[in-house]
Amino acid sequence: ANMPFRLVSSSGWLTFATRLPRQYHYVAQPMTWTGARSHCRGSFLDIATIGSLEEMNQLIKTVPSAGNSSEVWIGLFDEIKWRWSDGYTGSGADYRKWELSYNEPNFYEAGEFCVTIDNDRGWYDAFCTGQYPFMCYNGKDKAWGAVC
């Protein structure tokens, strides 16, 4: 949901910001996590960040029904701690939906540092060298404007 707010400065300008929903894009070409991130950064804004159940549901609706593999890369990766590729640290940055029935994240063979999501909405840590379709997003997180 959009969450607008307004600030009136001493100059009389009205400044506003609105949190815009991310626009997700499915890319069917399997790539490694770093390849997917490079592609997303070149064609969109970045590999997908998910900050809420609402955003996750929006992302899932964007993924077509897949025959063989329903897993797709998202932008979460582990670099001492889990973080998003785009550096997002705002509201919802700590949102996670690990597949607990498989004890995720399990860091299998101490080598799974990237994250896939499947059409059952579970998140799995995976080897970053695996090849999966992936989700990109565009649309800035904040839209700023000023009116007099």
Mind listing the pLDDT tens digit for each residue in 80-120? 899 999 999 999 999 999 999 999 999 998 999 999 998 77
Q: How do the domains of the chain map onto residue ranges?
A: 22-138
State the fold for domain 22-138: Mannose-Binding Protein A; Chain A (3.10.100)
Residue 22 has pLDDT above 60, yes or no: yes
Residue 67 has pLDDT above 70, yes or no: no
d(CA 98, CA 57): 15
d(CA 2, CA 4): 6
Task: Identify the pLDDT of residue 83.
Answer: 96
Residue 66 has pLDDT above 80, yes or no: no
Residue 144: band (very low, low, confident or very high) from pLDDT cuts 50, 70, 90: very low
Query: Residues near 41 by Cβ (< 8 Å), separated by ≥ 6?
Result: 47
